[in-house]
Structure 1
Amino acid sequence: MSDHLRFAGADAEVQRQALIDIIADDPLLMRLLQGMVELELPDPLVGSGAIYNVVWNVLTGRERHRGIKDADLVYFDPHDLSYDAEDQVIRRAEAQFAGNAIPVEVRNQARVHLWFPKKFGLAYPELTCSADMLLYFATRTHAVAARIENGKIVVFAPFGLDDMFSFRLTPNPALANRATHERKAARAMQLWPELQFEPWPDPIGD
């Protein structure tokens, strides 16, 4: 087995600890996690590419932050679903992370169902917490997030971590989002040729 696959197929707890160790050893990720604590946002998470791209870079011996376009920072506040309220949080986060090596993108997951259909042409369910967003990512491999609770890193990964550690891009047909799965995979495989692409499943009956 190639060394970059050393955690592929490992016990789920081994994989979880390996991810926590990689995050804890990364000053940028820790700054993001600590910053979200300091912002005191409800149900905060740091997720997606800022995490799995670091993992792939570390395991393949590349520069840690290579290929990361931005960091997804989310929270869940159902009490004010206005864009103005979200924009105030965005501005606070911009100040908190000013000078960060990677730009941040902040979103209130309680209001995604309001704008997602207009932007992407797909219906989106009303979520009940920040971690619910992971259930609807176009690629299961990307469904990973973390935060700090009581001083410890806590990982959220509803589909497990084996796809990520196996460098396997597995589709998630929870939404009809095939184009996103294929587009993101094409970019990722240029940066990490070790990745294996799993195609979108054909509709039943085809």
Structure 2
Amino acid sequence: MPARLPLDEQLTALRTTLSRNRTLLEVLDRTAALGLPDWYLTAGCLFQTIWNTVTGRPPTHGIKDYDVFYYDATDLSWEAEDRAIRAGRETFAGLPADVEIRNEARVHLWYERKFGTPCPPYDSVESAIDSFASTTCCLAVRLKEDGTWRVYETKTARWRKSWPELTVLPWPMPSAKSG
């Protein structure tokens, strides 16, 4: 048996692991119905689900919120983003989780005021994800129109192109007993 799974098998293992978190699956389904442009579910809810699986905890253990990023540069007003946030409140009502929706096209408008350092405008959700301080967070998924998952893996592909000797570690496979 090989020490590492091929990348396509790793993506299957990732989906299997994340699918253990029923709240995450519901957030994906409901976000797809919102019709947000270029959206992803990203950050903590993904890697914390993996950590929970690896450590035998319930899939939603310790997850504070579910971050949905989208990108819409056609209207950078707070009012436009707030409409998406309010639509999300209705869409996610009844879920046992907080879902935070943010337009990544607007980050540069408020970032310096909040964090004290400027942030250049992003040109996509992917560029926002690429700027995460921790590479553990550089993960995102969304549902495509045909119901399949799109996993944001551009960073890994780019790294492997530049450093072909890198090994991509496999995603943990859930054990039958920790379900």
TM-score, normalised to structure 2, is 0.81
Question: For the Cα contact (< 8 Å) 1:12–1:160, is it kept in 2?
Answer: no
Residues 157 and 121 of structure 1, relative CA distance in 2, 3 Å threshold = farther
Runs ≥4 residues deviating over 4 A: 161-166
* Residue 154 (str. 1) matches residue 134 (str. 2): no
Report the 3-state secondary structure (helix = DSSP H, G, I; strand = E; otherwise coil) of the residue aligned with 1:155.
Answer: strand
The code of the aligned residue for 1:141 comes to T
Task: Kindly state the Cα deviation for residue 16 of structure 1 after the two structures are TM-superposed.
Answer: 1.5
Report the counterpart of residue 126 of structure 1 in structure 2.
Answer: 121
Task: Indicate which of 38, 46, 50 corresponds to 1:51.
Answer: 46
The number of residues matched between the two structures is: 159
Task: Indicate which of 12, 25, 31 corresponds to 1:17.
Answer: 12
Question: For the Cα contact (< 8 Å) 2:5–2:170, is it kept in 1?
Answer: no
Report the 3-state secondary structure (helix = DSSP H, G, I; strand = E; otherwise coil) of the residue aligned with 1:160.
Answer: helix
Question: For the Cα contact (< 8 Å) 1:74–1:106, is it kept in 2?
Answer: yes
1:57-136 correspondence to structure 2 within 5 Å: 57-136=52-131
Alpha-carbon distance in 2 for matches of 1:57, 1:159: 24
Residues 69 and 163 of structure 1, relative CA distance in 2, 3 Å threshold = farther
Residues 164 and 86 of structure 1, relative CA distance in 2, 3 Å threshold = farther
Alpha-carbon distance in 2 for matches of 1:123, 1:16: 35
RMSD: 2.1
The code of the aligned residue for 1:12 comes to L
Task: Kindly state the Cα deviation for residue 59 of structure 1 after the two structures are TM-superposed.
Answer: 1.8
**Unaligned 5+ residue runs, structure 1?**
1-7, 167-206
The code of the aligned residue for 2:131 comes to Y
Alpha-carbon distance in 2 for matches of 1:54, 1:33: 14
Task: Kindly state the Cα deviation for residue 74 of structure 1 after the two structures are TM-superposed.
Answer: 1.2
Question: For the Cα contact (< 8 Å) 2:64–2:98, is it kept in 1?
Answer: yes
Q: Which has the higher contact order (CA 8 A, sep 6+)?
A: 2
Report the 3-state secondary structure (helix = DSSP H, G, I; strand = E; otherwise coil) of the residue aligned with 1:114.
Answer: helix
**Unaligned 5+ residue runs, structure 2?**
158-167, 173-179
TM-score, normalised to structure 1, is 0.71
Alpha-carbon distance in 2 for matches of 1:91, 1:81: 16
Query: Identical aligned pairs, as a percentage?
Result: 35
Q: Which moved more, 1:122-131 or 1:70-79?
A: 122-131
Alpha-carbon distance in 2 for matches of 1:15, 1:125: 33
Residues 26 and 119 of structure 1, relative CA distance in 2, 3 Å threshold = same
Question: For the Cα contact (< 8 Å) 2:111–2:118, is it kept in 1?
Answer: yes
Report the 3-state secondary structure (helix = DSSP H, G, I; strand = E; otherwise coil) of the residue aligned with 1:118.
Answer: helix
